[in-house]
């Protein structure tokens, strides 16, 4: 990830165009030069799958991912006909077709994070993944487990403003965390400045409209810009970025 160039992650792949968290969506994001953001959860039999929600409703029945074996989850027939990939599927795609790609991965819990680290190591891909999470306690456990994986703290979405009263910046630094990921909201400029003032890089998610895209690219505080952007439309975001450079 370049020091001066804003990096683009396809949120759950190119999820504004294709079914989120599917190989087709991941591939579409990678093909336009974006990184891939996804979410991982463990099934009952400890298979790491790319799936955002802890549970889902299908045919008037509620299912929880952690209570299903992988064979059961794989057999589910979703209305959008999606095939749920495992993290192995994603690593196979990346190592075979996009070996230089960067992955940003949200974890469902600490156990999922530890399994992710182990599997990334098995694929010799650990240096190309970022693990993001809202909970410092989880990040602390992951740092204890591995001292080199890149960790990013995602600001709790219940907090509209970030400050030293609700964010322990010093603890994050002790964990070797250099980046804070914030949601685009009406306080985006204020929150971006707070992140920079506390000497962190800043990622922003929720950038999907052209108005927000243009606004985010203009942010600058003490000669620092946004480090990375998460968007459902990576092709549109990259095209805009290239026009402005």
SS3 letters for the chain?
A: CCCCCCEEEEECCCCCCCCCCCHHHHHHHHHCCCEEEEEEEECCCCCEEECCCCEEEECCEEEEHHHCCHHHHHHCCCCCCCCCCEHHHHHHHHHHHCCCCCEEEEECCHHHHHHHHHHHHHCCCHHHEEEEECCHHHHHHHHHHCCCCEEEEECCCCCCCCCCCCCCHHHHHHCCCCEEEEECCCCHHHHHHHHHHCCCEEEEECCCCHHHHHHHHHCCECCECCCEEEECCHHHHHHHHHHHC
Q: Which of 157, 150, 210 has the alpha carbon at shortest distance from 184?
A: 157
Which pLDDT does position 67 carry in this prediction? 98
Residues 139, 162 contacting (CB under 8 angstroms): no
The C-alpha torsion from 79 through 83 and 84 to 88, rounded to 10°, is: 180
pLDDT tens for each residue of the chain, 245 residues long: 666 689 999 999 999 999 999 999 999 999 999 999 999 999 999 999 999 999 999 988 999 999 999 999 999 999 888 999 999 999 999 999 999 999 999 999 999 999 999 999 999 999 999 999 999 999 999 999 999 999 999 999 899 999 999 999 999 999 999 999 999 999 999 999 999 999 999 999 999 999 999 999 999 999 999 999 999 999 999 999 999 87
List phi, psi (to 5°) of 123. Answer: -95, 5
Measured in residues, the chain has a length of: 245
Which pLDDT does position 244 carry in this prediction? 84
Which pLDDT does position 2 carry in this prediction? 61
Which pLDDT does position 5 carry in this prediction? 86
Alpha-carbon span 188 to 73, nearest angstrom: 38
Q: Which tokens in the block code for residue 161?
A: 């403003």
Alpha-carbon span 127 to 125, nearest angstrom: 6
Q: How far apart are the first and last CA of the chain?
A: 17
In this structure, the number of other CB atoms found within 10 A of the CB of residue 242 comes to 9
Its pTM stands at 0.96
Ordered structural domains, the chain, with CATH: 7-244 (3.20.20.190)
């Amino acid at each position: 990830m370049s020091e001066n160039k804003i990096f683009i992650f396809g949120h759950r792949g190119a999820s504004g165009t294709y079914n989120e968290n599917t190989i087709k969506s991941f591939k579409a994001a990678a093909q336009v030069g974006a990184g891939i953001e996804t979410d991982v959860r463990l099934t009952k039999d400890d298979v790491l799958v790319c799936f955002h929600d802890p549970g889902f409703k299908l045919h008037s029945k509620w299912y929880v991912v952690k209570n299903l074996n992988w064979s059961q989850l794989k057999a589910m027939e979703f209305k959008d006909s999606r095939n749920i990939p495992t993290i192995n599927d994603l690593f196979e795609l990346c190592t075979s077709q996009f070996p230089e790609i960067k992955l940003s991965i949200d974890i469902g819990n600490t156990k999922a994070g530890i399994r992710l680290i182990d599997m990334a190591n098995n694929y010799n891909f650990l240096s190309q993944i970022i693990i993001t999470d809202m909970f410092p306690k989880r990040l602390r456990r992951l740092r204890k487990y591995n001292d080199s994986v890149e960790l990013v703290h995602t600001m709790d979405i219940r907090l509209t403003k970030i400050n030293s009263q609700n964010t322990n910046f010093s603890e994050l630094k002790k964990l070797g965390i250099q980046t804070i990921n914030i949601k685009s909201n009406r306080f985006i400029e204020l929150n971006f400045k707070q992140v920079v003032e506390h000497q962190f890089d800043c990622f922003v998610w929720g950038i999907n409209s052209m108005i927000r895209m243009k606004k985010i690219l203009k942010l600058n505080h003490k000669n620092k810009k946004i480090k990375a952007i998460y968007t459902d439309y990576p092709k549109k975001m990259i095209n805009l970025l290239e026009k402005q450079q």
